[in-house]
Amino acid sequence: MSNYELKTEQFSGPIEKLLELIEKKKLEITEVSLSAVTEDFLSYMRKVADSDLALKPSPMALRLLADFIAVASRLIFLKSKSLLPDEEINEDEEGELKDLEYRLRLYSELKPAIKALALAWRSVKPQYSRPYFMTHQFSSLEGAGEGAAFYPGGNVNLESLAEALNNLVAAFKDVEVDTQTIKEKVVSLEEKIKEIIARLSETASSSLKSLSTSKTRSEIIVIFLAILHLAREQLVHLEQEGNFSDIMVRKK
Amino acid sequence: MQDQSKKIAELEALLFIHGEPIEINKIEKILGLVSGEGEPLVNQFSEELRASGRGLRLVFDGEKTQMVTKPEFAKILEDFVKEELSADLTPAGLEALSIISYLGPISRSRLEYLRGVNSMFTLRSLMLRGLIARAQDPKRANAYLYRASFDLFKHLGIGGPKELPGYEKFNSLVKKFEAPQEQEVMVSGPLPTVVTDEKNAS
Amino acid sequence: MQDQSKKIAELEALLFIHGEPIEINKIEKILGLVSGEGEPLVNQFSEELRASGRGLRLVFDGEKTQMVTKPEFAKILEDFVKEELSADLTPAGLEALSIISYLGPISRSRLEYLRGVNSMFTLRSLMLRGLIARAQDPKRANAYLYRASFDLFKHLGIGGPKELPGYEKFNSLVKKFEAPQEQEVMVSGPLPTVVTDEKNAS
């Protein structure tokens, strides 16, 4: 495993993390409790992003982050329902929230199984088997395999070998396409950030509500994430008067 | 030697020579058994090994079986055998391995749905360590199903998936849970979601 | 389990794993027996194997002992081995063989990285078939490099790896994939942003 892979493997998946946060607060799985852990989830996500993998992110790190963002966006959407009360919720959105709750419940059934396996793993008493045809030795150690009996099988020929390798190389390409998709999605966030900066340089201040006017739900969430990003980079200043009031965004 | 006990002796010799896990239907073919005769024979041999004070036992996952040393002798044998599996599991690896062990055979998309995260690299590293095995999904071309490997059972000192702690309970709980909603749904969100790779997409 | 039968079970597990003939005094050491205790134990186990309808027996020459299959099963096992080795290669076997032929000499870890699966068993089976050969890796102790055997080239009717169809093309394709994917992406802050470089700008 490469270092990149090792690092991303240190993080639990977003569903497991979300469940853990809810359980930590001793809450049931409801919309309210999801709202209650949104901040914690976002700060864990920041930890994922800030771990040194973010300095020079590997495709796997970006992917991991993308999946966290996917879950985070639903949580933010939940919050935004109260921030933007006149926003209508359509069936799809309702369905997605139900789906998230469903998965959390399902995962909570699985969690004890994960603990059980972890325990079994730590207290192992391995059983051992014999190698394949153990008593059939290779002819000699140096250059072993050479000059031994030869059983090619009926399907070994130039074409089948080239085809097998070709299939493997084709699978590599899938990985590249995968990586490319992630990059494209990340770019859309980058564009949104630039857009907000441009807009703020014209007006000096704006609000989440006005930025979100006539935008799709997906765009609103991207905008929300973009604002969070800008605030953290200290490029903008955020203000919110009450708990569910509009968020004001000011240029610094 | 009686016929049945001769067959068990042959089965033992076969498993001893082969070493690796071997399919029940292959056993039937080699020993000249009628189809369906293999599994009870394996079960009977497994029972005999357990009942008598033997040093060996069978691991059986429902399809293949393998002869291994009993876990209580791990201590004496450990110096003898290079164990490659004992390194720690990462949190992501443990999460995925548990889901695969208890719910497998399971598709990558299903696993990713449950975890909410792309699991390509986690699956890859579990396969490189030999802890999980994959096979073609009979229902979908170019898709795989993942399951716990014999090496995992051997390493945990158990005889098959059903001996995993709480296997029946978790398996049926989750199956019951999943039944009403037949979903192969991926996270569908506005922002980057779990990305399906071509190989796994139906 | 009684003490004596536990020792026999331990002896069985040891002989099963070891495979080759092993000295009595080595057995005594591993099982923690008193000197002189080993031989009677081996004799007793040997007797038990003979008396019961087991598929295995011990060979003992007074110094070393080995567990082997009973001679009456020789025929069935020989046929099995022959059939196993002369069967067509599985897709996994073919994939590994193609990588080794095109990219060899190649280490096991590089092969496994490219395939994404543990390949110990596949390598062993290709060696037994005489399709590949291995030699010490000059750069790493206790590691091997694998390459196609001369018999394989002869079988394919070519003089060496470079005559494989598309040799150059596949080699450069694989090298490109293996090169650490040079990141075109940079991230600053909590969320990924992209610094576009010339290569990416479209």
Write out the DSSP string of B120-144: HHHHHHHHHTTSEEEEE-TTSTT-E
How near does any CA of chain C get to the CA of A207, in Å?
A: 21
Residues 6 or more apart whose CB falls under 8 angstroms from that of C31 comprise B76, C7, C10, C11, C14, C38
* Average pLDDT value for residue range C140-162: 92
Residue C36 vs residues A189, B55, C15, C28, C29: alpha-carbon distances, Å: 77, 22, 18, 8, 11
Q: Do A225 and C177 touch (CB under 8 A)?
A: no
User: What is the C-alpha separation between A198 and A235, in angstroms, rounded?
Assistant: 12
Tokens of A16: 């497991």
Q: What is the mean pLDDT of residues A57-73?
A: 73
Q: How confident is the model at residue A150 (pLDDT cuts 50, 70, 90)?
A: confident
pLDDT above 70 covers a percentage of chain B that reads 84
A78 touches B at CB < 8 Å:
no
- Whether residue A38 has pLDDT greater than 70: yes
CB of C194 within 8 Å of a chain A CB? The answer is yes
The mean pLDDT of A173-189, rounded to a whole number, is 60
Residue B135: per-residue pLDDT? 87
What one-character DSSP code corresponds to residue B117?
S
Give the model confidence (pLDDT) of B171-194 as tens digits: 888 777 765 544 444 333 333 333
What's the pLDDT at A86? 60
With cut-offs at 50, 70 and 90, classify the pLDDT of residue C41: very high
Give B-chain residues touching C70 at CB under 8 angstroms.
9, 13
Mean pLDDT, chain A, rounded, equals: 75
pLDDT > 90 in chain B, percent: 57
Hey, which chains touch B, using 3+ CB pairs under 8 Å? A, C
Of A46-60, A231-245, B60-74, C117-131, the least confident: A46-60
Asked which of B46-50, B76-80, B122-126 is least confident by mean pLDDT, the reply is B76-80
Question: How confident is the model at residue C60, as a pLDDT?
Answer: 94
For residue C117, pLDDT over 70 is answered with: yes
A146–C181 C-beta distance less than 8 A:
no
- Which residues contact residue C95 at a Cβ distance below 8 angstroms, ignoring those fewer than 6 apart? A164, A165, A167, A168, C115
The pLDDT of A171-188, averaged and rounded, is: 62
How many Cβ contacts (< 8 angstroms) between chains A and B? 223
pLDDT band per the 50, 70, 90 thresholds, residue A153 = confident
pLDDT of residue C29: 92
Q: Which chain B residues touch C181 with a CB distance below 8 Å?
A: none
Q: How far apart are CA A9 and CA B118, in angstroms?
A: 11
Who has greater pLDDT, A221 or A7?
A: A7
Work out the mean pLDDT of chain C and round it to a whole number: 85
Residues A95-122 pLDDT 10s: 878 888 888 988 998 889 999 999 999 8
Comparing A33 with A86, the larger pLDDT belongs to A33
Indicate yes or no: CB of A59 within 8 angstroms of CB of C98.
no
| pLDDT of B65 above 80 | yes
Selected residues 138-167 of chain A with any CB under 8 Å from a CB in chain B: none
- How do residues B5-33 score in pLDDT, each as one tens digit? 899 999 999 999 999 999 999 999 999 99
Contact B73 C9 (CB under 8 A): yes
pLDDT at C201: 34
Range of weakest confidence among B77-91, B103-117, C59-73, C155-169? B77-91
The answer to whether residue A142 scores a pLDDT higher than 60 is: no
Residues of A in contact with C112 (CB under 8 A): none
More confident residue, A57 or A81: A81
Tell me the CA distances in angstroms from B61 to B10, B35, B64, C71, one per residue in order: 21, 18, 6, 30
What Cα–Cα distance (Å) separates residue A34 from each residue in A8, A82, A218, C45?
25, 13, 19, 65
Q: Which burial class, exposed, middle or buried, applies to A6 when counting CB atoms under 10 A from its CB (0-12, 13-18, 19+)? A: middle
How much of chain C, in percent, has pLDDT values that exceed 70? 87
CA distance A109 to chain C (A): 30
Q: Do the chains contact at B192 and A70, CB–CB below 8 Å?
A: yes
Mean of pLDDT values over B29-43? 94
Residue range B103-116: mean pLDDT, rounded:
91
For B77, the closest chain C residue by CA position comes to C14
A106 vs B165, B177, B187: nearest CB: B177
Mutate to test the interface with C, among B14, B33, B152 (most CBs of C within 10 A): B14
Least confident range from B172-181, C130-139, C148-157: namely: B172-181
| Side chain identity at residue C107, one-letter code | S
**For position A144, what pLDDT does the model report?**
57
**pLDDT score recorded for residue A54:** 45
Q: What is the mean pLDDT of residues B46-61?
A: 92
The predicted pLDDT at position C200 comes to: 34
Query: Nearest residue of A to residue B156 by CA position?
Result: A124
For β-strands B106-107 and B132-136, DSSP reports them as unpaired
Q: State the pLDDT at residue B126.
A: 94
Mean pLDDT of all residues in A7-17: 84
Quick one: pLDDT at residue B194?
35
Residues of A with CB below 8 A from C17's CB? 128, 130
Q: Of B35, B43, B33, whose CA–CA distance to B10 is shortest?
A: B33
Q: Flag whether residue A47 sits within 8 Å of chain C, measured between CB atoms.
A: no
Among B111, A114, B129, which Cα is nearest to B120's? B111
Closest Cα in chain A, distance from residue C47 (Å) = 23
Whether A135 and chain C come into contact, CB under 8 Å, resolves to yes
- Phi and psi (nearest 5°) for C51? -65, -40
Interface contact flag, A131 C134, Cβ < 8 Å: no
Sheet holding C64-69, edge to edge: C22-23, C64-69, C56-60
| C76 inside 8 A of chain B by CB | yes
Q: Do A12 and B165 touch (CB under 8 A)?
A: no
pLDDT confidence of residue B191? 33
Looking at chain A, which residue has its C-alpha nearest residue C133? A145
Judge whether A20 is closer than 8 Å to chain B, CB to CB.
Answer: no
Q: Which of A188-197, B68-77, B103-112, C32-41 has the lowest mean pLDDT?
A: A188-197
Mean pLDDT in residue range A70-87 = 69
Choose the closest CB to A154 out of C68, C88, C166.
C88
Residue scoring higher pLDDT (B176 or A146): B176
pTM equals 0.80
Query: Any idea which of A66-75, A96-105, C151-160 has the lowest mean pLDDT?
Result: A66-75
pLDDT of residue A159: 95
pLDDT at res. A143: 53
For A99, name the nearest residue in chain B, comparing CA atoms only: B187
Closest approach of C85 to chain A, Cα-based (Å): 6
| Mean local confidence (pLDDT), A16-26 | 90
**Chain C residues inside the 8 Å CB shell of A146:** 130, 133, 149-151
- Name the closest residue on chain A to residue B82, using Cα atoms: A128
Residue A42: what pLDDT?
79
Specify whether the CB–CB gap between A174 and C178 falls below 8 A: no
Contact C117 B129 (CB under 8 A): no
pLDDT tens figures, C79-111:
998 888 889 999 999 999 999 999 989 999 999
Whether the CB of A3 is below 8 Å from some CB of chain C: the reply is no
In percent, the amount of chain A with pLDDT more than 70 equals 61
* Model confidence at A33: pLDDT above 50: yes
| C13 vs A70: which has the higher pLDDT | C13
Mean pLDDT across chain B: 84
Considering only CB atoms, C183 lies closest to which of A57, A147, A229, namely: A57
Question: Sorting pLDDT into bands at 50, 70 and 90, what band is B93?
Answer: very high
Pairing of strands A247-251, B22-23: unpaired
Q: What is the ipTM of this complex?
A: 0.81
Contacts of B174 in chain A (CB under 8 A): 106, 109-110
User: For residues A52 and A80, which has the higher predicted lDDT (pLDDT)?
Assistant: A80
Strands (E), chain A: 205-207, 236-240, 247-251
Per-residue pLDDT band at A146 (split at 50, 70, 90) = low
